[in-house]
Amino acid sequence: MIIAIDGPAASGKGTLAKRLAAHFGLPHLDTGMLYRGVARQMLDEGARLDDVDAAAGFALSFEPGLIDDERLRGREMGEAASVVAAHPPVRAALLALQRAFAEQPGGAVLDGRDIGTVICPGADIKLFVTATPEVRARRRALELAGRGEPVDEAAILLDIRQRDARDSQRDAAPLVKADDAVVIDTSALDVAGVVASALAIIEGKRHRIISSFQ
């Protein structure tokens, strides 16, 4: 079973993906970490994030194990990744890696921006997780504060709005809801409520599939 989860920054898709992966015993890939990893390498090497050729080179040689680097989780890397992810050659370079992860025996859970539309258009389950920009900014502020990082919620909200625009307006694999994805608005839900909603959607889909063969 392949579960594709898409949505904007800080919508809760990553937390949901981890919970579903644990529930179903499936491997999980946060595809955004791939782009953060490429951006991290570029910054470490002094390359400009808008250098498309350099970004593509780093993406082609990217080692998946690098996504465990704790430095990738800060706000700076989120912004940098959004810039790098807009380069079509970077997305093309990382496409095979993501698809190979999804197609391993038994399936997988992947979350990102283009899982249901580009990476796994044939996924068994497609979810689009969203929330208002204000709620997402508040969540991100709490996350950063929990890691001891300085927090300016107004600046975070501005960053989120800018990332939304950049992610949805880019030419390569923009952030859009797949036609057959089910929307989960997490604005007024806690984690347990989001997970319960997702499980109800998944079990309903499974039931319909089973019924169609009877």
7 is in an annotated binding site: yes
Give the closest residue to 19 by CA, choosing from 31, 9, 5, 32.
5
C-alpha–C-alpha distance, residues 94 and 80, integer Å: 17
21 is in an annotated binding site: no
10 is in an annotated binding site: yes
- For 5, how many CA atoms within 13 A lie in the half-sphere containing its CB? 34
C-alpha–C-alpha distance, residues 126 and 109, integer Å: 10
12 is in an annotated binding site: yes
131 is in an annotated binding site: no
178 is in an annotated binding site: no
8 A C-beta contact, residue 37 and residue 159: no
C-alpha–C-alpha distance, residues 84 and 39, integer Å: 6
133 is in an annotated binding site: no
8 is in an annotated binding site: yes
11 is in an annotated binding site: yes
Binding site, by residue number, is: 7-15
Binding site for ATP, by residue number, is: 7-15
